[in-house]
Structure 1
Amino acid sequence: MKMALTEAKKGRYLTYTNPMVGAVIVKEDRIIGSGHHLGFGYEHAEINAFNNVSAQESISGATMFVTLEPCSHFGKTPPCCREIVRRGVKEIYIAQEDPNPLVAGHGIKYLKEHGVEVHVGAVEKTARELNEFYNFFYQNKRPFITLKVAQTLDGRISLARSHRTYLTDETVFENVQRLRADYQAIVVGSGTVLADDPLLTVRSMKLKYPPVRVVLDRSGRTTSKYKIMNDDAATWIFTENEKMIARFATSSVKVFFKSKWTLKKIVQQLAQQGIQSLLVEGGARIQDAFLDVPLMQQLIVYQINQLAGGNSLSAFQSERAAHSLLELKLTERKQVGNALRISLRR
C-alpha cells in the first residue's frame, strides 16, 4: 500500500477536482503492475495499473492495492469496479472509502457482490491526508480554507496602507508559489488588487488547471486595467455593484452579482462551482472577516525577524469588536528563506 501511495503522489497538480489515487497489482508475491490517476478526465489509477501489466502476465487471481475506493459510476471514464471484476482480481485492499456521494460505498458493495474479497482501512490516515481538501469538501460540503499571511514580529503586513511593503525574500516567494499550486482558488479583496496589482498566478510551474483568482469587490472598484483581469487564468469577481456585469461583459472575467453578499454565501457559491480549496491572501480586512465568521481551517504565517511599529498595517484589521480568542494548534514550524513559516490548524 505504501507503493500505491507513492504512485498516487505522482498525480499532484494534475487531478484538479479529482483525488490523487494510486494502484498496485500483486500476484504470487510479485508486483506485476502499478499506476496512478493521470489527470482530470483521464484513466483512473486502477485502469493504468492494468494497462501497465505485461501482456505475458495473467491478472486473473491477482490482488490489488488501491488508495481510494474504486468508482462505480459512469463519469468521464467507465466504472473501475466493473473492470476489476472483469479482469479477475480476487482480492483488493482499499485505503479509504470515497466520500463522494457518487461512489461512497457503492464501489465496495459492487466488488463484494461480484465475489471480490475486500479489505478497507489499510494506512487510511495517510491516504486521507493525501486528499485532505477532497475529503473535507465532500464531508463538509464547503471548501477547505487556508489563510496565508506574511508579517513582522509585531504582526504588521505593510508599512503603509496605500502601497505594498515586500517583507519576504525570493525563497519565500517560491514557497508561496508551490503553496498556491495546491489550491483551486486564491481569494483577495479589491484593496489588494488596487494597491498591489498582483497576478496571483503560479509562475514557478505550468499548471493545466491554475487556481481561479477570486476578488471580493463589494462596491465595484476594480476595472479591466489590472493585470488580474488580462491573462488566461480565470478571474471571478463577487460584487454588490450591478454595473460590474456590463463592465466585464466582453472579457473572460466572471462576475457574481448579488445585492447582499456575506462570506458564508460567497463560500457556498464557490462550493456550488466545485471549488474544493481556497487560499486567502488578503488584505487585512478580508483576513479578519474569515476569522470573524470563522470559516478557515488553517493559518500559514511567514514571520520575519523585524519590527514595524508606528501606524503600519496590521495583518488582521477591521472595525468589529473582538469578543473571543480563536484557539489554533501548531502543526509545523520551519525556516523558509528570511521567514519562519508557522502552520496552525483549528
Structure 2
Amino acid sequence: MSQKKNNFYQKYFSELALSLARINKFITKENPSVGCVVTDFNNNILSSGVTSKNGRPHAENNALIKLNKKITKKIFVTLEPCNHYGKTPPCTKKIVNFNVKQLHCNQIDKNPAVNGSGLKFLKENKIKIKESNINKNFYSNYNYSVKNKLPYVTAKLAITKNFSTVVSGKKYFTNSKSLKFAHLLRYMNDSILIGQKTLLKDYPKLNCRIEGLSQHSPKIFFINRNLNFNKKHLLLYPRSTVVFHSSKDSKKISKYKKYFFLEKIEDNTGNFSPEEILKRIYKHKCRRLLIEGGSETVNIFAKNKYVNKFFFIQSEHNSKTKDPQTVNMVRSLCGNNFNRYNVKINLNNNKLFKI
C-alpha cells in the first residue's frame, strides 16, 4: 500500500477516534473522554470504543474487549493510554495482551500519573508508536486542570445594556435562548458555584433543565460564610451540596450539617482565598467549574486570574441601578471597547460575549 494511502487512513481513523471522544466529552467525571478505533493491518475497522459515562471503563477496554486476542491489530486513540492502577487496571496491559502491534496516539496525557509512561511501556513491549496531529486543543481544559490541580473555570454573568446585574422587579431579564444557553453551560461543567447573595436572593435550582440532560446536572458548591439559610433552601438542594463557611456558631453547624456537606475554611482576613476554594473543589473530583453569580463572587476569581473563560450575556434592558463593580470588571477584562475585544453571538435580542 502506498504511503499516501496509509496517511489517508491514519488521518481518517484518528479523526474518527476524536469524533467518538466528543460523544461523552462532558459526562466522564474527572476522567477525560477518549475515543478509540481498532483496525487490522488491511485498514478494516474491527471495533471502536469511547470512555464510558462516569469515566469507567476506559475507551481502550471498551474497544478491545469485543475482539479475538489472536488477531494482529492497530489502535488509534485520542489520548495516551493510562499505565497505572487506579479504580481499573492499566489500559497499556490490555493493549499488550490483545496483540496490538501499532498505536497511533494524538496526545500525551499530562496527568502526572501518566505523562509519557504509557507510551514508554508500550515501546518496551515492541509496539510501534505513531503520532497523530488532530485537534491538539481538544484536551486543553483537562490539561490545565491536571497540571494545576485546579478546576478549569468558566464564569457566566447576565448583564443589562448599561452593565448592571440587577433590574428592579425582575428575576430574569434575559430571554429564553439565553436561559437555555445557561443550562447548556451547566451540562458542560461538572460543578457550579454561587455566592451567598445570589443564594439568598434568587433561590436558583442550579440544575440542568434541558430535556435528556438533567441527569448530568453539576455538583453544587456555595460560599456562605455565616451559614445563612432559610427553610426553602433546605428543601431545594441535594444533601451532596458543599457549603464553604467560616462560622463558629456550633448550633448552626449542628443544624445545617444534616442538610449539606459543610467545609469550614479558617479565615482571619475577612475574605476566602479563591485558590483555596478551587483546590477544595478539585479534591471533590471536579475538573470543570461554572461560576454563575453574582458579580461579587465572579469578580473575586476574575481579579485573581482564576477565570479561564468568561461569558457575558447582555440583554436589551437598561437598569436604573448602577453597578460600578461590574463595569470595572468588564473594563479590566477587555478594555473600554467591549464590542471590539470579544466574540459576539446574537441570541435574538440578547448578545453573548465570550472572553
TM-score tier after normalising by the smaller chain length: 0.7 to 0.9
Confirm whether residue 40 of structure 1 aligns to residue 63 of structure 2.
Answer: no
Structure 2 runs not aligned, ≥5 long: 1-13
Which AA in structure 2 matches 1:155? F
Matching residue within 54, 70, 73 for 2:84: 73
Q: 1:47-71: per-residue Cα shift (whole Å, max 9, x none)?
A: 2112344x6xx76332111001111
The offset of 1:216, in angstroms, is 0.9
Confirm whether residue 171 of structure 1 aligns to residue 181 of structure 2.
Answer: no
The offset of 1:338, in angstroms, is 3.2
Q: 1:294-335: per-residue Cα shift (whole Å, max 9, x none)?
A: 211111011123322x324467279xxx9x934589563222
1:4–1:189 CA distance, 2 compared to 1 (3 A):
same
* Separation in structure 2 between the aligned mates of residue 80 and residue 337 of structure 1, nearest angstrom: 47
1:165–1:206 CA distance, 2 compared to 1 (3 A):
closer
Give the equivalent residue in structure 1 for 2:262.
Answer: 255
1:193–1:149 CA distance, 2 compared to 1 (3 A):
same
Matching residue within 283, 289, 300 for 2:294: 283
Give the equivalent residue in structure 1 for 2:353.
Answer: 342
- How many pairs align? 329
Give the equivalent residue in structure 1 for 2:110.
Answer: 99
User: Aligned with 1:147: secondary structure?
Assistant: strand
1:21-40 paired onto structure 2 within 5 Å: 21-27=34-40, 28-40=42-54
Q: 1:9-54: per-residue Cα shift (whole Å, max 9, x none)?
A: 121332111101000012202111111111235321112112344x
**Contact 1:150-1:301 at 8 Å conserved across structures:** yes
Higher helix share: 2
Normalised to the residue count of structure 2, the TM-score between the two structures is 0.85
* Separation in structure 1 between the aligned mates of residue 332 and residue 145 of structure 2, nearest angstrom: 26
* Separation in structure 1 between the aligned mates of residue 194 and residue 276 of structure 2, nearest angstrom: 16
* Separation in structure 2 between the aligned mates of residue 186 and residue 330 of structure 1, nearest angstrom: 27
* Separation in structure 1 between the aligned mates of residue 70 and residue 24 of structure 2, nearest angstrom: 24
User: Aligned with 2:326: secondary structure?
Assistant: coil
Is the deviation greater in 10-19 or in 200-209?
200-209
1:207–1:106 CA distance, 2 compared to 1 (3 A):
farther
Give the equivalent residue in structure 1 for 2:217.
Answer: 210
* Separation in structure 2 between the aligned mates of residue 81 and residue 330 of structure 1, nearest angstrom: 45
* Separation in structure 1 between the aligned mates of residue 123 and residue 140 of structure 2, nearest angstrom: 27
Q: 1:246-281: per-residue Cα shift (whole Å, max 9, x none)?
A: 121222x11111231322221222223322121111
**Contact 2:166-2:321 at 8 Å conserved across structures:** no
Give the equivalent residue in structure 1 for 2:149.
Answer: 141
Higher strand share: 1
Structure 1 runs not aligned, ≥5 long: none
Give the equivalent residue in structure 2 for 1:239.
Answer: 245
* Separation in structure 2 between the aligned mates of residue 225 and residue 257 of structure 1, nearest angstrom: 23
User: Aligned with 1:157: secondary structure?
Assistant: coil
The offset of 1:206, in angstroms, is 4.1
User: Aligned with 1:226: secondary structure?
Assistant: helix
Which AA in structure 2 matches 1:236? V
Which AA in structure 1 matches 2:19? T
Q: 1:62-114: per-residue Cα shift (whole Å, max 9, x none)?
A: 21110011111122222111111111111111111111122111111110000
Normalised to the residue count of structure 1, the TM-score between the two structures is 0.87
* Separation in structure 2 between the aligned mates of residue 336 and residue 326 of structure 1, nearest angstrom: 22
Confirm whether residue 196 of structure 1 aligns to residue 210 of structure 2.
Answer: no
**Contact 1:25-1:64 at 8 Å conserved across structures:** yes
Q: Percent identity?
A: 26
Confirm whether residue 155 of structure 1 aligns to residue 163 of structure 2.
Answer: yes
